[in-house]
Every structure is written in C-alpha cells, then in structure tokens.
Structure 1
C-alpha cells in the first residue's frame, strides 16, 4: 500500500512533577521529571498496563534515558461494532476484525517528553486521550504529575510568530452576546440569543491586525482564536483569551506508523525545540 503523509495535530503541555510520596526532593523540575518517569517505568519492561473502569490502558516505552521519554499510549476499544470486517480487495475474501480472544483492538498515539524544558508533546487522537490516563497511572505509582495546557502569556510575541493570519474567530460571552439584537422573525418566535460566534477571513496580513488583537478588552469574549501559518509554514492557532497555543506538524504515517518511529520522534523533538527556542513558555 502506498505510504501517504498525514497531518496530525500536536498538543503541548507543561509537565510538572508535584510533591508526592515518591517524588524526588530536588527543587529542579527537570530532575524531578526525570526521576518521575524513570520511577513509574522502572521495571525494565517495554509495555506497562493498568485497568481503568474495566478498560485496559497501555504505555509502550520506545526509548527512555536521563534526557527524554518517547512512548506510545493505547486504549482498548471495548465496544467493537460486530458489523465490521476485513476484505481483500483482489479476491473479495472477508474475515473478522478480531479472530481470537487473545486479540484486542486499540486506539493509540505517540508522546514525547523533554525533561530539560519540561514540555510534553502528544499527537492528538480523540479516541486515545493521553493526559488523564498518564496522570492516573503516575498517581497509581505514588507519583503526582501535572499536565498544564501549553500557555503563552505574551500575546504580542506569539502573534508575531504568525507569518500569515488566515482566520479570526470571536466567541462572545453569554452576557455580551445578549446585547445583540435578534432578527425580527427570530425575536418574534420567542428565541433568545444564548451564544454568538463570528468568524472573519483575513485577506491580507498586516501589523495593524496584531495591534488590534492585542488591544482587545477583557470580558467581552470567551474566546478569540487566531488561525494561520507560522514563519516555517506550519499551521498553528492561538487563543488570546485562553492563552493556549497549538501547532500542527506534518508527520509521515503509513498503514503502520511504527515503521517510521525515528521520523515521528524527530518531528516531535523539532516542534518542542522550536517552541523552546522562541521562548513562548
């Protein structure tokens, strides 16, 4: 089967090792993170599993040392649709997705932790959400891990990381949305505005747009999301209200992504290095 490049979103977290029964006494978070992950994955196994509400979760350690961790997280699919099958496109022969009781269908994703700057990157997969699972597993091992959304406080600096702003989406708070009048035909039907969102397309990137966004007053919007391209032509978004920043990296995924582990690890390393270099956090 021909390999294709698939763009996947990478989410970033600030990883913090909190005080706990087994936590390192060091005040340096880099050392504490190193000790935490080398502690929870200390049995020398390649795969660690735990049950959560009768669902099996697994962490497969691809590489770990004193500087970084690269691994996969997987979650078993417990409600498999029986009306699914595998078909050979040439012969039209079919077979069940799972052929015996020893097999399990899983959703999985890759994650990477840089201990020195305390950044965790994970390839987004809605069916295999890492953050809660990793925190719970660490807690089960008597460690406490906090994964905070990748937050950027300096709005202007982050906005200058956009080579081109393509769209701006304003989501009004419920209170400010109620100040806007409905169309007469809607108002007469008894419908009231409960939320309001406006999406603008930016035809030309200008410095004046950045100045306008930085000057927005608090309290009017619950979200102001900026979407566009970075200086290295990567899709990225920034919410000025939530202060959350996200980049999308192009990673080669084939029918078996694990054939390209080095490429995936390298791409995640580069994304973290770009963020750290730009001093966003």
Structure 2
C-alpha cells in the first residue's frame, strides 16, 4: 500500500525522455501463446531502453486464455518488475479451475516472499539506471548464446526467470556462467550452457544463482508500508567452489542500506551479521521454499 504522498505514473506509451516516468505496460496483447512471447520480448526491449519498471496484462487483454496459458502468464507476470491482472474478461484466478488457482496462488505467494530482494533491486535500478529485469546480453554482451536467449531474463542480479511460452512443461533455457539452483529444490545446473528443463504447471520457472545470499520474507496478503523486519536469508552453496562468505543488501524507502553477511567458518559454524540501520530478525535457509 502506498503511503500518503506516494504516487505512480503508469503509462502505455513512451518516447525519448519517458524513462523519467515511473512505470510502463506493454499494450493490449491477445490471449495467445504467441502474444505471451511477444510481450516478454517487448518488456525486455523496454529494459534495454532504460525503463527499469514495466508490466503487462496477465493473461492477455483481448479474449479469454485457457487455464494453462493463464497460469504460465501469471507466473511470468508475478516475476516481472511490476504485476497486474487485467483483460476484457475475468482474470480472477479462481475462475480458471482449482489447479490453475493453486498454481497462481503459489506464484503470488512466491512474489510476496521475494519482496525484500525485489524492492532492494528496484532501489538499485533507480540509483544506477540499470534494468530490474535484465536481458541476457546486458551482462554477457560478448556471448552469442546470450543474445539468442531472448525469452528469459534475470530479475535483479541473482534470480533467473524463464517463462513458459508454449503449451507443455518443457523449454530450453540458457544458464549464465556459474551454478543455478531451482527455487523448488533439486540439483544445480551449470552454465554457461543451454539445458532443456521441465517445469510442472504448479511450479514457477525460477532459478537462484548458487552462492548468492537472497533475502526473503514470509508471504502476507498485502505488501503494506512498514519496513521489512523478519527475513530469511537463503544461501545455497555452489557445489563446484563452496563460498565461505556471501552478502546481500536491504534497501528501505528512505534509501538507507543495511548489509547482511553470512559466513561459514572452518568448523561449519554459520553466522549472520548486519551492518546498517535496519532492525532485523534473521534466520537462514539453504534453499527456497
């Protein structure tokens, strides 16, 4: 919820200099798989053009999506910089059947749990001008395989999102250098390489960079306006070269930064410390829930 004095300009059109305005959405797509893919490319084009915050009509605007398309679009939308359900017909998750409702609710709770990370990445985007949803070539300009991976992105520095854009549960994903852990748990995937992955309908297409420290919170019914206090620091260790120290930054609405550090001692004693103004209650986990 926005507090008093907060506002947001949310526009569909833009032009040179439009980057100064808060947010964009990508127009009125049809409820089709082709338009889901086109919408993803449109959003990443906005990222390349200096617009860090964009969204789209989950499910498409014209027409009515089937349940599978609606779920996959919702998973994409809830892992986009901004999220909104909008269309000419109902976009209420419970109108698409029990399986679809459960899958969308799972994705919505996932987004809510990621708010400390997303908020901090968004604050960095405001400070640096870099995209919140990062197209693959942005960090790997010299790699042709990164340029070919035009239907996936990094959300912030450490989360890889690869939306399903055709029916079924399988797609090709390009994994950047390093190891990437499925957020639902499982064996890490090594990059740089293409891998064919299986993503069941109820699972969001999300991977975490191994070795990164990810700040999450317990999902709630609404974001609220109070500072984050109870956090879980998620720290999966890369198998190839386990790290002993990892850091993450938490930003608040006033621009103040608190650094959280996890350290694994030689005797495997794990400690968490903070440096900054936030009064945090922290616990640690080795995988996303």
Bin of the TM-score, shorter chain as denominator length: under 0.3
Work out which structure has the larger RCO, using CA pairs closer than 8 Å and 6 or more positions apart in sequence: 1
TM-score (norm 1): 0.23
Which entry has the higher C-alpha Rg, 1 or 2?
1
TM-score (norm 2): 0.22
Higher strand share: 1
